[in-house]
Amino acid sequence: MINVSKIKKGIVLDHIEHGTGHLLYKALKLDEVDDPIVLMQNINSSSMGKKDLIKIETDFDLDFTVLGLIAPHTTVNFIEDGVRVKKLRMELPEKVEGIMKCKNPRCISNIEKVETHSFTLANPDTKEYKCEYCDSLTTYME
């Protein structure tokens, strides 16, 4: 096991499905953060076999919708003064607004400009969401 020093303050994203850590890294725009960030991949996990983990050593405004969409089993640990002060378990968001596009080319949302396009969770297993306009199923990660 790699030894990474404990962080004093920040966020630790634990139990990320292995192989999705780098996708999260991009989607959460962690590449734009100036503070230390550690992405660990393929860590052995008793509950998951293998997992990814991200440590963000700063105050960071997490996009929980994106996080939930990409890695719904993530545990979010908030660290202050070296101790965990809060823990959150992610899940797939029931409703997603503004960040998904309908994949039906004939959908009104792809023809006209729509205000806030919302999608409702249709199938948690396949992470499929239903378009509010045409009922087509779309996933966030194509």
Should residue 67 be labelled a site residue for Zn ion when binding is judged by CB under 5 A?
Answer: no
Should residue 133 be labelled a site residue for Zn ion when binding is judged by CB under 5 A?
Answer: yes
Should residue 131 be labelled a site residue for Zn ion when binding is judged by CB under 5 A?
Answer: yes
Q: Which is nearer to Zn ion, 17 or 132 (CB)?
A: 132
| Smallest separation, CB 107 to Zn ion (Å) | 3
Residue of 41, 77, 104, 118 that binds Zn ion (CB under 5 A): 104
Total chain residues near Zn ion (CB under 5 A)? 7
Buried b / exposed e over 44-76, threshold 16 CB at 10 Å, is: eeeeeeebbbbbbbeeeebeebbbbbbbebbbb
Q: Which residue's entry shows tokens 């994106």?
A: 66
Q: Which two tokens stand for residue 3?
A: 């030894």
Should residue 39 be labelled a site residue for Zn ion when binding is judged by CB under 5 A?
Answer: no
Should residue 56 be labelled a site residue for Zn ion when binding is judged by CB under 5 A?
Answer: no
Q: Which is nearer to Zn ion, 49 or 105 (CB)?
A: 105
| Smallest separation, CB 111 to Zn ion (Å) | 10
- CA-wise closest residue to 13 among 77, 103, 73: 77
Should residue 7 be labelled a site residue for Zn ion when binding is judged by CB under 5 A?
Answer: no
Who's near 87: CB < 8 A, 6+ residues apart?
75, 76, 77, 78
| 109 close to 124: Cβ distance less than 8 angstroms | no
Q: Which residue's entry shows tokens 């823990």?
A: 87
Q: Which is nearer to Zn ion, 48 or 114 (CB)?
A: 114
Should residue 45 be labelled a site residue for Zn ion when binding is judged by CB under 5 A?
Answer: no
Q: Which residues bind Zn ion (CB under 5 A)?
A: 102, 104, 107, 131, 133-134, 136
